[in-house]
Chain A
Amino acid sequence: MSKTYKHFQSERDVISQAAEKRRNLASWALTAPALIWLIIFFLIPYLIVVIYSFLTPDIYDVKFELSLDAYRQAFNPDYLMTLFQSFRLAILTTVLCLLLGFPVAYFIARAKDKTKNTLLVFIIIPFWTNLIIRIFSWRIFLAYNGVLNDMLINIGLISQPLEIMRTDLAVILVMVYVYLPYMILPLYSVLEKMDFTLLHAAMDLGANEIKAFFRITLPLSMEGIFAGSLLVFIPALGAYLIPQLVGNQKTLYLGQVITYKIKNIPRNWPMASALSLTLLFFVAILLVLLFTLYKRSKSRRIT
C-alpha cells in the first residue's frame, strides 16, 4: 500500500521537477537581455570605478600603481563637509517636496475622475521639456534683472532687485521644482487607493479632522511617502546640474566636486571614483536602514 503510494509520489516529483526546470529556463531566457545589458553597462563600469579608486592619479589619466591616497583624502574634513552639504540639500529638498506634494496629491486623489486626469497631466507636463531648458528658464525668471524682480518692483513690494540667482535659495527652489512630481505621483497612487470612508469612521469614533489625518491618512500613505522620498532623495544627493547652473560657486555639492576632479586638469580619476563610492556607500547604508524599518512595519502586519 504505502509502497505504491511512495512510487506514485516520486513519479509526481519527477514530473514537477521537469516542469520546474522548464519554467526556470524560460524565465532565464526572458531576463537574459536585461541582465546582459546591466552587466555590460552598469556592473562593468562600476567595477572600473572601484579599480580606479585604488590607483594613483596622473595629469590626464591614471598610473597603475595601487594606492589608498584617494580614500585618505576623501575622508578629510573638507570633503566630509561637502558630503554633509549634499545630504543637507537632499534632506531639505525631500522634506519640502513632501510638505508641498502631500496636499497636492491628496487634492488630486479626492477630485472627480475627470478633474483628476487633467490635474495629473499638469503634473506630468514638465517632463515634456528638457531639464536644462527648464533650468535656464528659471535663471531668466530669478535673474537680477529677471522676471520675478521686475514683477516685485512693479507691484511695489521691493525697490531694489533681490539677489536670488546664484544663492542656496535658488538651488532649493529649482530642486524642489524639478523633483516635486517624483514625490506627488507615488503619493497620489497610494492616496487614490485609500478608502476615504475610513476618515468618516475615525470621525464617528471621536477623532477630529487633524487626529483622523495623523492616525489614518498618514499611516496609510506610508508606502507612498517612502517611495516618493527615495525617488527625490537619491537623485538630489548627487545633484550636479542644478547647483552648477543656479547655485553660488562657493558652496559646492558632491556632484560638482566629483565632476571637477574629472574635468579640471590635472585630473584626479581615483579621487572622483573614491568620492562616488563614498557617496554610494552612505546611500546604501541609508537604504538598508530604511528598508529594514519599512519591512518591520510591514511584517508586523502579515503575521
Chain B
Amino acid sequence: MEEIRIERISKDFDGFVAVNDVSLTIGSGELFSFLGPSGCGKTTLLRMIAGFESPSNGRILIGNTDITDIAPYNRQVNTIFQNYSLFPHMTVFDNVAFGLRIRKTPKSEIKDRVGEMLALVKMEDQAAKYPDQLSGGMKQRIAIARALINKPKVLLLDEPLAALDLKLRQHMLIELMNIHDAVGITFIYVTHDQSEAMSISDRVAVMNYGSIVQAGPPDDIYERPNSIFSAYFIGETNLITGEVTGIEDDYLQLKCPDGAEGFFEIDSTFHFQPTVGKQLTVSLRPEKIALSRSKPRYQDDINMLRGTIEDILYLGSHTQYIVRVGALKFRVFSQHKRVYFDEKALDWEEQVWLFWHDTDTWLIDEIPDSSLGNKEQPDTGVNHFQRSAKRLTQV
C-alpha cells in the first residue's frame, strides 16, 4: 500500500503565509489528524492534498506518484466537506452514485455498490430522500458514502462533526472509527477540537500559524509536549517558569518565582540536557497533582507545595480546584474517590498541600512571551503563562 508524503509544502496568499513549510509522511491506512486553532491553515493544507489549491512550494506524493499538479478530478483522493456539500437536486441514491456515473460504471454495478455503501453507513432505507429531508448526522453519513464509493486512496475530512450537537458528535466519532476499520484506507482528519483528535487518531499533528508544532500519537503529545503551544492546546495544563539550579544524575532542581516576592523549588526528571542557569517552562497536568490537608509523608521523588484553595468548581466526574501558591494559580483536578481519603471535603480558603511525582513535572525548553509581564491579571484563575499560551492560540 501507498503512503502519502508531504514534502516542504507552503501556501502563500498574496504575501500571507497560510501553510508554512510542512513536511510529513502519513502511513497507509493511518487515521491521521491535523489539530490546531481556527485559521492555522488546516483547511488550506487539506485543499492542497485534494487539489483545489496549488502549493506555492513543495510536493505531495501518493506512493511514488507526484500528485502536486494533477487536477482534483484525477486524484484518488476524496473529501468530506465542512458543510457536507451534498447535491440538493439529487436523491441520496444519486448523490452516492455520482462518482460511479461520472466514470460510466454499468447500471447494475452502480446499484450494487450504492447499496453496499448505504449499508456501510446504515442509510439503506433513505435512498429515495433528498438532502434537505435529512438531519445533519444523516447528511454526514451520505457524504461519507458518496466519497468512499470511489475507493479513494485517501479520505480527507474537514471538521466533519463541527455542525453536529455533542451527543451526535460522540456517536459519529465512533462510527467514523468503525468505518475506518472497515474500509482500511487512509483518513486525514482536520479539527480544532482536541478531544476529537485525541480520541480518533493514530497520530496527530498539532498546527499553529501554518506550521506543524508537533506530530505523534495522541498520548505522546499529551504526556510529552515539545512546546508551550502543544502543552496548552492539548488538554489543560499548568505552566510554570523557573531556572535550573542544580542537576544530579537523572533529575534536576528548578527555582521558580511564585509571582509575589518569593519562590519555590521543584524537582524534575528531564528528557533533554539542560544547563545550570537555564530558563525553562514546566508543564504540569491538573490531574497529576494531588491535594491534601495534612502534609504527605516525605518521599524523595515527590514535589510538595503549600497553597490556599481559591476556587472550587464541581464538574460531575471530577472537581476543579484553583489553588494559589504565592501569586501563581494551580489548576488541580481531583476525582471523587473518597475511599482513600475519608475526610471532609476541601473548602474555600483552606490551606492545602499540593504534591506530585517528579516524573510528572514535564520540562519544555521554551519560555513564554515575556512581553506579557509577570503578574498579568492574577485574579482570573490561570497563570500568566497559560494566558500567553492562550494568546498564541487565538491569533
Using CB atoms and an 8 Å cutoff, list the residues of chain A in contact with chain B.
Answer: 195, 197-198, 200-208, 211, 215-216, 219-220, 301, 303
User: With A and B bound together, what is the CA distance between A215 and B130 in angstroms?
Assistant: 16
Pair B72/A198 contact, Cβ less than 8 Å: no
State the Cβ distance, B90 to closest chain A Cβ, in Å.
8
Contact among A195, A215, A301 for B85, CB-based, below 8 A: A195
Chain A to chain B contacts (Cβ below 8 Å), 28 pairs? A195-B85, A197-B81, A197-B83, A197-B85, A198-B87, A198-B88, A200-B72, A200-B81, A201-B86, A202-B87, A202-B98, A204-B50, A204-B52, A204-B72, A204-B73, A204-B147, A205-B73, A205-B78, A205-B146, A206-B73, A206-B99, A206-B102, A206-B103, A207-B102, A208-B73, A216-B87, A219-B89, A220-B89
User: With A and B bound together, what is the CA distance between A206 and B99 in angstroms?
Assistant: 6
Using CB atoms and an 8 Å cutoff, list the residues of chain B in contact with chain A.
Answer: 50, 52, 71-73, 77-79, 81, 83, 85-89, 98-99, 102-103, 128, 130, 146-147, 150
State the Cβ distance, A224 to closest chain B Cβ, in Å.
13
Pair B89/A205 contact, Cβ less than 8 Å: no
SS class of chain B's interface: helix, strand, loop or mixed?
loop
User: With A and B bound together, what is the CA distance between A220 and B103 in angstroms?
Assistant: 22
Known: A206-B103, A301-B130. A201 touches B72 (CB 8 A): no
Pair B103/A200 contact, Cβ less than 8 Å: no
Please give, as numbers and ranges, the residues of chain B lying within 8 Å of A215 by CB-CB distance: 98, 102
Contact among A205, A208, A211 for B147, CB-based, below 8 A: A205
Contact among A197, A198, A200, A205 for B102, CB-based, below 8 A: A205
State the Cβ distance, B181 to closest chain A Cβ, in Å.
24
State the Cβ distance, B251 to closest chain A Cβ, in Å.
53
Pair A220/B71 contact, Cβ less than 8 Å: no
SS class of chain A's interface: helix, strand, loop or mixed?
helix
Please give, as numbers and ranges, the residues of chain A lying within 8 Å of B130 by CB-CB distance: 301, 303
A-B pair number, CB within 8 angstroms: 60
Question: Can you name 17 extra interface pairs (CB under 8 A) apart from A202-B98, A204-B50, A206-B150?
Answer: A198-B88, A200-B72, A200-B81, A201-B81, A201-B87, A202-B87, A204-B52, A204-B78, A204-B147, A205-B146, A205-B147, A205-B150, A206-B73, A206-B102, A219-B89, A301-B89, A303-B130
Known: A205-B78, A211-B102, A216-B87. A200 touches B52 (CB 8 A): yes
User: With A and B bound together, what is the CA distance between A204 and B53 in angstroms?
Assistant: 12
